[in-house]
Amino acid sequence: FGLAPTLPLALLSRFALGLSNGLIGSIKTIITEMSHGDKSKETRTMAIVMGMWGYGFLINPALSGYLADPMRQYPNSKLVHFLDSSLNLTDNP
């Protein structure tokens, strides 16, 4: 569940991510309109967007695995302790 301490918060965050997933349709429309009929510019820009989408699918699992359980991996980090105290991620006082 990552940083979500409760199931409802995890479900709410997944819902918000699902809502933002519709952005790709808008991005494709914006690219088409901004290329002003230049097919080579449209093709190149669309390839960049789709490539970054693919890189996100590759990099996100590795990044989230690297950042999993930050209290144990980075016990001396001030940022981790700040987030832990503000979001109440652990049961420790």
Confidence label for 42 from pLDDT (cuts 50, 70 and 90): very high
The predicted structure's pLDDT at residue 41: 92
Phi, then psi, of 31 in degrees rounded to 5: -60, -45
pLDDT in tens, 51-65: 888 888 888 888 878
pLDDT of residue 92: 56
**Cα gap 1→11, rounded to integer Å:** 9
- At 81, the pLDDT band (50, 70, 90 cuts) reads confident
Q: Which tokens sit at 79? A: 């940022």
Distance CA 73, CA 76 (A): 9
Residue 47 in tokens: 């390839």
Residue 33 CA to chain centroid, in angstroms?
26
Mean pLDDT, rounded, of the chain: 82
pLDDT per residue over 17-32, tens digit each? Answer: 888 777 888 888 899 9
Share of residues in the chain with pLDDT > 70 (%):
90
Residue 4's nearest CA partner among 91, 76, 88, 92 is 88
pTM (2 d.p.): 0.50
Q: What is the pLDDT at residue 2?
A: 66
